[in-house]
Structure 1
Amino acid sequence: ITKKTYEYTKVESADGEIRLLKLAWSTQTDCFDVELVHVSLATCEIPYLAISYAWIDGDDGAKPSKVFFDKDTFLDIGGPVNTILRTLLRPGECIHLWIDGICINQKNVDEKGLQVMLMEKIYSQAEQVVISLGQSDSLTDKAMDFIVPLQHALVNISHPSFGTALASGLEAFRYLRAGIDLSPAPWSALNALFNRNWWNRTWVIQEVA
């Protein structure tokens, strides 16, 4: 059987129409089934997740793959999109999401331009915006474990007693050291996390604001 690339049906961008990806777990294939659903942003009642991610491969080594809409039609997807789909969906679940790599026909320049104009509404009307920094690794886990105590320490800086400690110089250092690990390892992990490709995208301001 010859498999064909999925052919998009026209989306009426001028009327605020978008596509949502319906992602459902298949008990037959132990993987997911996909379907693109057309909805109007003005009347959409389907709760959906809007995905913010970096198109550039390299953060997690994820390989490009395909999504099959039926036995004969498919779309090629990049490594980051493949990672996101496999991470978000759990067995037995059915979710709707908006992810530009699939929900916009990337081969249609006119459509891309019109859909970009709707992105502010797409993200603001989403039930939740999910940020994907890529797959986790040992450094990511260290960074995430470090963020909580670091947050608490930064909150303490606003405490009145910090002003007194700051005046004595060395006491300020001890004040902070009591709350966070000052060894190089966690800071290197945090630096690696904030150097992931997602942070270099201008679009994130619109997506998460």
Structure 2
Amino acid sequence: YSPLGDNSIRLLQIEAVTNPSLNHERAAIRCQIHHFHIAKAPNYRALSYAWGNSATRFIYLNDQRIEVRKNLWQALWHLRNNNFYTKWIWIDALCIDQLNTVERNHQVLLMGRIYKTAAEVFAWLGCLSDLPFGSRRILRYGLHNFVSLFTLQYWQRMWILQEIGLA
């Protein structure tokens, strides 16, 4: 990561699959990251998600192979495969240098503004196939499974109320 200026953020763009011989499921996830002053940032979305367990997958960030948690990889995969690659997105794990304590603390102070100025905030609860109740069961069993949504790890994060409240 290169240093951020005051009131600056990094935004990410997910690249489209450019090799027609690769299907979307097998193509590596590639992203580019850019710096912007928060007041001059392009229209962007923010991702609210739980980091999840320690299982990891690989993506390419500015052509560098890096590890990300599986839950984030699944969110990126879903966004890319649903034609989200033309948009800017802010994701804490990738847009903040997590190894730089000074930057991380400064960005945490900006998070309210980051979520408030985002055009949309996406809440990633996880892949339906990983959820204990499955998509068809939600439709079939209704309220019981709807209530079980709120037992997901996502809701155990301290920042969720701020992220959703400012969205």
> TM-score w.r.t. structure 1 length?
0.67
Kindly provide the amino acid, as one letter, of the partner of residue 54 in structure 1.
A
After TM superposition, give the deviation of residue 188 of structure 1 in Å.
3.9
Equivalent position of 2:50 in the other structure: 54
After TM superposition, give the deviation of residue 94 of structure 1 in Å.
2.0
Q: Retained in 2: the 8 A contact 1:25–1:31?
A: no
Answering whether residue 71 of structure 2 is matched by residue 80 of structure 1, we say: yes
Deviations along 1:53-112, one digit per CA (max 9) or x if unpaired, are 011228xxxx511221355x2221001110110011137642211101111111111111
Kindly provide the amino acid, as one letter, of the partner of residue 120 in structure 1.
G
Deviations along 1:6-58, one digit per CA (max 9) or x if unpaired, are xx10112xx210100111213126444311110111112x1211000011228
List, as ranges, runs of 4+ consecutive aligned residues in structure 1 with deviation greater than 6 Å.
none
Larger Cα Rg: Structure 1 or Structure 2? 1
The gaps in structure 2 that reach 5 residues or longer are none
Equivalent position of 1:145 in the other structure: 139
Identical columns (%): 27
Counterpart CA distance in 1 for 2:43 and 2:28 is 22
After TM superposition, give the deviation of residue 193 of structure 1 in Å.
1.6
Cα RMSD of the aligned pairs, angstroms, is 2.3
Counterpart CA distance in 2 for 1:66 and 1:23 is 14
> TM-score w.r.t. structure 2 length?
0.82
Kindly provide the amino acid, as one letter, of the partner of residue 46 in structure 2.
A
SS of the aligned residue for 1:26 comes to coil
The gaps in structure 1 that reach 5 residues or longer are 1-7, 147-184
Q: Retained in 1: the 8 A contact 2:33–2:62?
A: no
